Amino acid sequence: MGTSTLHDVPAPPDVPPPGPEFGWESAGLDLDAYLERIGHTGPVRADLATLRALVRAHTESLPFENLDVLLRGGVSLAIGDLQDKLVRRRRGGYCHELNGLLATVLDRIGFTVTALSARMLFGADATRLRPVGHTLLRVDVPGEGAWIVDTGVGGWGPNAPLPLRNGAQVRAGDWLYRLDRTARGWMVRLLRHDGWFNVHLFTLEPFYRPDMADFEYIASHHPRSPFTRMLSVQRNGASERVVLTDRRLETHRPDRAPEARDLAPEELPGVLREVFGLHLPREDEEALVRFAARAPEGQELE
C-alpha cells in the first residue's frame, strides 16, 4: 500500500459567496404601505437625500417599545410579521424589529445594507465590557460611501445617518452626534446637557438575520435582560425625546436636564395612546397596568 504526501491531499472546496439566505426578505415587502405608515411622500431612490428622509421619518413615526416581550414573551422578525405589527397595526418595536424593517426597505430601494452588532453602553464608561447583541446597519450609498443607520436605540439613537468616518459629527434636529474610531471599535456618542453620552460600540463585522433572531431571543427571554424586567417605550423627535420606563415618564431636550413625573398605573394606557400613538386591545392595556403596578421603582436600561 503506497503512502500519500501532503501534495496528494485534495484541497477543500471554496466557500461559496453569500446567497439569498444571507440577505433581506425584500420581495415580501409592501413598500407603498410602509411609506404611507411613516408619511414619506418624497422621491424614493438609492441616494443620500432619500436615506436621510426615510431615517428621519422612520424614527419619528415608529416608537421604540418592548410591549410584546412583556405581553407575549417575544417577537417575530419575519418580514410578514414585522409589516403586520409595525405597519398594519401601527405599533413600534425594539432594535431588531425597527432596524430589520428599515433594512428590508432600503434593500428593496437599491441600497447595499449590512447588519452590524453593537455593545450597548447607555452612558457607561467606554472601558466597561458589554456583550454584543444590539442590531444596527451599515448602508452603502452609491457615490457617497458608507453610512451608519440606527433607528433602534429609542431616545438616544440618531435620527439621521452618520458617515462612517473617524471624528464625523452630524446634527440631527437639535441633537449632535459624533462617531469615533477607537481601539475597541467605532463609538457613537450623543451630546447632552451634561456632556458626551456614550451610546454604543460596534465593529464592521457583518451579521445576518439568523444572528439577529438569536440576539432577539436572548433579549426577550434572558432573566437579566432589561426587556423582560421592565416596560420601555420611547419616542425619538427632532427637538425632544420622550422616555417611559415602567411608571416614570421623562422628556429630554439637548440643552437641559430631563423633566420627569411618575405615573399612576392606571394612567399608562392613556399615555401610550396620546404620547406614543400606541393603541392596544383593552386586555393588553389591562395586563400592562398590572405589570406597571408591581414593577420595582428606579429601574433603568443599562
Active site residues: 95, 134, 150
Do 98 and 55 touch, CB atoms closer than 8 A? no
Do 61 and 38 touch, CB atoms closer than 8 A? yes
Is 298 exposed, middle or buried, given 0-12, 13-18 or 19+ CB atoms closer than 10 A?
A: exposed
Q: How many CB atoms lie under 10 A from the CB of residue 213?
A: 14
Instruction: Return the SS3 of 262.
Output: strand
Cell of 60: 419619528
Cell of 267: 394612567
Nearest to 272 by CA among 258, 297, 289, 251: 289
Q: How many CB atoms lie under 10 A from the CB of residue 41?
A: 10
The distance in angstroms from the start CA to the end CA of the chain is 65
Do 92 and 233 touch, CB atoms closer than 8 A? yes
Instruction: Return the SS3 of 284.
Output: helix
Torsion of CA 188, 207, 47, 37, to 10 degrees: -90
Spatial separation of the C-alpha atoms in residues 280 and 115, rounded to whole Å:
30
Q: How many CB atoms lie under 10 A from the CB of residue 297?
A: 8
Nearest to 207 by CA among 138, 131, 269: 138
